[in-house]
């Protein structure tokens, strides 16, 4: 059995002082169809905490109903707003599913949704829902040009969304871009860097979720 040298043992905190790593949030984004009769789409997602995280993910619902803000140019407004303010942030990414084909399809659909938001300069919003104990508005989701498999989440635990978001009533989500239409992404210099992902990002390499 390997044993640390005695002079290094003092660097290890006693068991009572060791902080357990929280489980990453895993859930579903439910996105309404673009038109009446269009089926609702479900994306299986997981959230990675950011450094200095205060997202209270343990209080989040397991399912978010996501609505796209249907006004071009609102994406730049959220870039500017998050530069001036410091809401809790997280990174959403497609979750791994037990069956490879389902997992690949989920990943492609997530990328298509993120690409749809980026190409049309849109954002999406998700409220906490009536069963949540959180009193704030919910989460604003927006894409980053540096990584199409991520969506940034600006988290509003106790406060309402910014006025420019409140003024825009969520409309029906638009039809998603086909994964075959995805194109290489450039970098928007006005975008600002996405939040720094903490070590909990390693959960994306852990086992798949239990349902397919």
Instruction: Give domain status of residue 19, yes or no.
Output: no
Average pLDDT of every residue of the chain: 75
pLDDT of amino acid 55: 78
- Residue 73 is assigned to a structural domain of this protein: yes
Give the pLDDT mean for 58-82: 89
pLDDT digits (tens, 9 = 90+) for 155-186: 999 889 998 888 875 544 444 433 333 333 33
> Does residue 37 lie in a domain region?
no
Has residue 90 been placed in a domain?
Answer: yes
pTM of the model: 0.72
Residue 14 lies in a domain: no
Least confident of 11-25, 37-51, 132-146, 174-188: 174-188
CA distance 21 to 49: 11
| Cα–Cα distances in angstroms (integers) from residue 11 to residues 2, 7, 8, 17, in the given order | 16, 8, 5, 12
In a domain, 22, yes or no: no
Cα 112 from Cα 19, distance rounded (Å): 37
Q: Is 75 part of any domain?
A: yes
Domains: count for the chain = 1
Print the domain residue range for 128: 45-201
> For residues 191 and 79, what is the distance between their CA atoms, to the nearest angstrom?
6
Q: Is 110 within the bounds of a domain? A: yes
């Amino acid at each position: 059995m390997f044993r640390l040298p005695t002079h290094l043992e003092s660097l290890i905190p006693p068991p009572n002082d060791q902080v357990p790593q929280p489980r990453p949030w895993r859930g579903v984004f439910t996105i309404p169809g673009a038109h009446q009769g269009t089926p609702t789409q479900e994306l299986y997602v997981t959230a990675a905490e950011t450094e200095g995280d205060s997202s209270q993910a343990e209080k989040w619902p397991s399912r978010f109903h996501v609505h796209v803000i249907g006004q071009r140019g609102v994406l730049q407004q959220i870039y500017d707003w998050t530069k001036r303010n410091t809401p809790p942030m997280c990174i959403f990414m497609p979750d791994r599913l037990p069956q490879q084909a389902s997992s690949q399809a989920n990943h492609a659909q997530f990328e298509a949704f993120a690409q749809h938001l980026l190409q049309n300069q849109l954002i999406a919003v998700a409220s906490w829902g009536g069963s949540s104990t959180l009193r704030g508005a919910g989460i604003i989701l927006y894409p980053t040009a540096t990584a199409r498999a991520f969506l940034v989440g600006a988290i509003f635990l106790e406060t309402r969304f910014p006025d420019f978001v409140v003024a825009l009533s969520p409309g029906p989500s638009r039809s998603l871009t086909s994964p075959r239409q995805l194109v290489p992404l450039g970098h928007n210099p006005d975008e600002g860097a996405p939040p720094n992902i903490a070590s909990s990002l390693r959960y994306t390499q852990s086992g798949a979720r239990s349902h397919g």
